[in-house]
Structure 1
Amino acid sequence: MSAGDRGADAGLPDGAVLRLNRHTHVTDGGAVLFGGVPARVSRLRPTVAEQIQGGSLTVTDAATRALAEYLIEAGLADPSPESLPPGDVAEITVVIPAYGRSRQLDRLLRSIRDDLGHVRVIVVDDACPAEASEIADVTYRNKAELVRLEENRGPGGARNAGLALVTTPFVLFTDTDAVLRPGAVALLLRHFADRRLAAVAPRVAGLTAPDPNWILRYESARSSLDHGADASLVQPHSPMAWVSTTCLLARTAALGSGFGAGLRVAEDVDLVWRLVAEGWRVRYEPQSVVEHEHRGSARAWLGRKFFYGTGAATLARRHPGLAAPAVLSPWTATVLVALAAQRRWSIPVAGTVTAATALRIARRVGRTEHPHALAARLAGYGFTWATAQGFALAVRHSWPAFALAALRSARVRRVVAVAAVADAVWEYARLRPDLDPARFAVAKRLDDLAYGAGVWYGAWRARSAAALLPVMTRRGTSATGRAATPMSRPAHLASGRGRRRSSSR
């Protein structure tokens, strides 16, 4: 099924329930919604707004189905998976790329049998020289199929080899160091009631260790694979910009030839962005949870962070503009530069620019009960998000450049010091990890140093600075950092009052 073959019978079935997501702001008694991916202001007719009760919408007819489709497409609301019809797990084939780790493979296969029963499972041995016989023994003992590659292709190539053998409507990619929790995949499968959905990923939690060290405690709170507790569409330049193929359930027909040829890092991000560019939806569903065996040694942990960073250059080449380390508007960039200058005029300039932006937003939001209060909130969120991106540039993505500049500039040293401390405090307060603040701060800094070093090494190897440069957009950023678009008022939803305005900030 191609991207153009989905429209005729698209839409969620009767009984499906949508819930406005946490980033959707409701004003005017529910008649005005702000949020989405990318951000927009949406005015609903009173009769339409009445369908959303307590932040929820139930699909009951063609009109509510159309409203549900709009809310999903706009990123304003997410389907509750338990309200969607169950699928048949027999329509799933599991594909597992394997390179050593026979013990973890055995654990994964047992969890698959416990959860999914006797579905077809294909293990692809990616030309592992050390544990070939052990992988074969584990595979056959667990009644799975084994495909052995003659040369190593990396995880993407191994998945493609397994994908070529899949004949079922759905394929589950999962890595050997994952463990399925009971019911996790069945819950993901319900989302395919949305015929525009290409793939859905669960939340990836840390596998419980009997005596976790400080690295495992940090990773349990802030793993690169764990995207948190909020369901979301997955789109570039959004808070949920990518999901991992540590575990990913996909519609086979949407995948085409699968993962990008030759990619050994960031192949999962590349796949997701290509699916979105083709008009498919990709979703993150945190109610479904799988477990992952995090790396507990400092060398392996930092090496993996560095490796992830090297993928930024590849993504910047294949998806120009989407792999930028920051997305800033002129006003947020001006505020950051003013504050970083640390002059007497810095705070007045930053405050004036932010206030002027809030006034401009109030004019462009149009008729609402409290336009200035809404505009102040949005400008405040934009300022907060821009500050977070500035911190990340200083201590994560661009730390080598800041470190060199700090050797000669006291102002840069102060910027780096403030960013390092504020970023750690911010993340600690947000995550509440099972780790003391001091060790959390050290782990966060090591995490960022390793990843940033990988980004710069990848850029040097690619002979391109594209992955190092922030993107400037005239439309600014929303409360959550997403690129803003003109206010959306579809004809079947709009009140009909007032003229169409831009919500650019």
Structure 2
Amino acid sequence: MTYPAPTVRDVTAVVPVRNGEQLLPGCLTALRQAGVGGTVVVDGLSGDRSREIGAEHGAVVISDEGKGLPHARTIGAAAATTRLVLLVDCDVVFPPGALAELLEEFAGQDFTALQAGLQSVGGPGYWGLALAHHHRTGRSRHWFGLVATLFDRDELARIGFDAGFASGEDIELRWRLRDAGLRAGVSERVLVEHRFAGDDFAFAQDQFLMDGSGLGRMVRKHGWRGLRLLALPLAASVRGITISLVTGQPRWIPYYAVFGWFNYVGLVRGLVR
């Protein structure tokens, strides 16, 4: 079926949130100013004002009943009334004009899913700054994910998420999109602000453990095909330490060492659970 060129009014933003009252207003304000056709906030049993903030910004607010991020995105997309959905985490802010430009790139190059590029910011503490530095300089910034991603709603419903993945669902979905011959990628034109919700070691550790667990589940599901993922944390650690030394920024070396260690702890957990 041939559709007319989409506009931002043809986009429903789906925003999962759990205890995100500090970040959610900036995210929703930017989406409203972008002119999206609608916004669905999917609350993960927050203990703060996230639900109220969503309603105050004119969003439809529903609950994922604590079933996790993949489920939240699924039911949020199902609640959309437009043919395109924007999966956007509450720690993302779209600058003026960014969504329209992302949509133009999406439609012009026949994407099924297109993520905006991420300009990560964090701090002022060490771990927040280190996370942002890693995300700005690591190879993963070129990998398709679901942080700020335009998606054809019908294809998302058809392909869906694997419910066994609480983390790493973006990698798993990317593989299945590719296997289905559908195009997914990261924008070469659009950057959005990605703000880290935490700034301490506990937050960073949780990120590392979840990432590693997702890799372990990928190996469990895909067997021999997924074995190459076992090398990713080590490769990222070595690369980060090397860049830190070459650029005269040894302060980041402890971060990359800890990153590698806890990724492998999480990976083992993902393999055995």
Q: TM-score range by the shorter chain?
A: 0.7 to 0.9
In 1, Cα distance between the equivalents of 2:219 and 2:147? 22
Q: How far has the Cα of 1:118 moved from its partner?
A: 5.0
| Structure 2 counterpart of 1:165 | 79
- 2:144 pairs with one of 228, 243, 248: 243
Q: Distance in 2 between matches of 1:391 and 1:206?
A: 20
391 and 172 in structure 1: CA distance in 2 versus 1, 3 angstrom threshold:
closer
1:381 corresponds in structure 2 to none
- Summarize the Cα distance change of 1:446–1:391 in structure 2 as closer, same or farther, 3 Å threshold: closer
> Which residue matches 2:165?
263
* Alpha-carbon separation, structure 1, partners of 2:186 and 2:18: 27
Alpha-carbon offset, residue 183 of structure 1: 2.1
The equivalent residue for 2:220 is 317
CA deviations on 1:261-318 (whole Å, 9 max, x unpaired) are 2421111222221111111011111421111222310111122111110111221233
Q: 2:58 aligns with which of 143, 168, 177?
A: 143
CA separation of 1:323/1:296 partners in 2, compared to 1, >3 Å: closer, same or farther? farther
Give the Cα–Cα distance (whole angstroms) in 1 for the partners of residues 58 and 133 of structure 2. 35
Match of 2:45 among 112, 127, 137: 127
Residues 120 and 265 from structure 1, CA distance in 2 versus in 1: closer, same or farther, beyond 3 angstroms? Answer: same
In the TM superposition, 1:5-154 aligns within 5 A as 87-114=6-33, 116-117=34-35, 119-128=37-46, 130-131=47-48, 134-149=49-64, 151-154=65-68
- Tell me how far 1:156 sits from its aligned partner: 0.5
**Counterparts of 1:428-467 in structure 2 under 5 Å?**
429=246, 437-459=249-271, 461-462=272-273
Q: Determine which of 179, 188, 200 is the counterpart of 1:297.
A: 200
Distance 1:90 1:311 in 2: 34
Helix, strand or coil at the partner of 2:22: helix
Q: One-letter code of the match for 1:304? A: Q
- Secondary structure at 2:190 match in 1: strand
List aligned pairs for 1:314-353, cutoff 5 A: 314-325=217-228
User: Larger helix proportion, structure 1 or 2?
Assistant: 2
1:90 Cα deviation after fit: 0.6
Instruction: Pick from 103, 127, 132 the counterpart of residue 220 of structure 1.
Output: 132
Name the SS of the counterpart of 2:227 in structure 1: coil
Residue 274 (str. 1) matches residue 176 (str. 2): yes
Which amino acid is the alignment partner of residue 157 of structure 2? Answer: G
8 Å contact from structure 2 (residues 95, 193) kept in 1: yes
Q: CA distance change for structure 1 residues 326 and 274 in 2, over 3 Å: closer, same or farther?
A: closer
Aligned to 1:333: none
SS in 2 for 1:139: helix
Give CA deviations for 1:163-222 in whole Å, capped at 9, x if unaligned.
Answer: 11223121000111221122222222112335642101111122365xx23323322221
| 2:252 partner letter | F
Secondary structure in structure 1 of the residue aligned to 2:191: strand
* Larger CA Rg, structure 1 vs 2: 1
Give the total of aligned pairs: 270
Q: Is the alpha carbon distance of 1:87 and 1:207 closer, same or farther for their aligned partners in structure 2, counting shifts above 3 Å?
A: farther
Shift of the 196–319 alpha-carbon distance from structure 1 to 2, 3 Å rule, reads farther
Name the amino acid aligned to 1:425.
T
Following TM superposition, by how much is the alpha carbon of 1:96 offset from its aligned partner in structure 2, in angstroms?
0.9
2:19 is the alignment partner of 1:202: no
Task: Identify the match of residue 180 of structure 1 among 78, 83, 94.
Answer: 94
Q: Give the partner amino acid of 1:106.
A: P
Q: Kindly tell me: are residues 225 and 244 of structure 1, through their superposed partners in 2, closer, same or farther at Cα, counting changes over 3 Å?
A: farther
Instruction: Please state how far the C-alpha of 1:225 moved relative to its aligned partner.
Output: 9.9
Amino acid at match of 2:148: C
Deviation at residue 135 of structure 1 after TM alignment: 2.2
SS in 1 for 2:90: coil
Task: Tell me the alpha carbon deviations over residues 236-279 of structure 1, each in whole angstroms, 9 at most, x when there is no partner.
Answer: xxxx5x42211111111221243222421111222221111111
Q: Deviations over 1:139-173 (max 9, x none)?
A: 12111111124x21101101111111223121000
Q: Closer, same or farther in 2 for the Cα pair 1:303/1:390, shift >3 Å?
A: closer
CA distance in 1, matches of 2:119, 2:264: 24
- Indicate if the aligned counterparts of 1:124 and 1:146 stay in contact, CA closer than 8 A: yes
- List aligned pairs for 1:393-404, cutoff 5 A: none
Query: Against the structure 1 CA distance between its residues 225 and 120, is the aligned structure 2 distance closer, same or farther, given a 3 Å change threshold?
Result: farther
**What TM-score do the two structures reach when normalised by structure 1?**
0.49
Residues of 2 paired with 1:224 and 1:246: CA distance? 15
Counterpart of 1:283 in structure 2 is 185
Counterpart AA for 2:210:
F
Report the residue type matching 2:63 in the other structure. R
TM-score (norm 2): 0.86
2: CA distance, partners of 1:278 / 1:297: 40
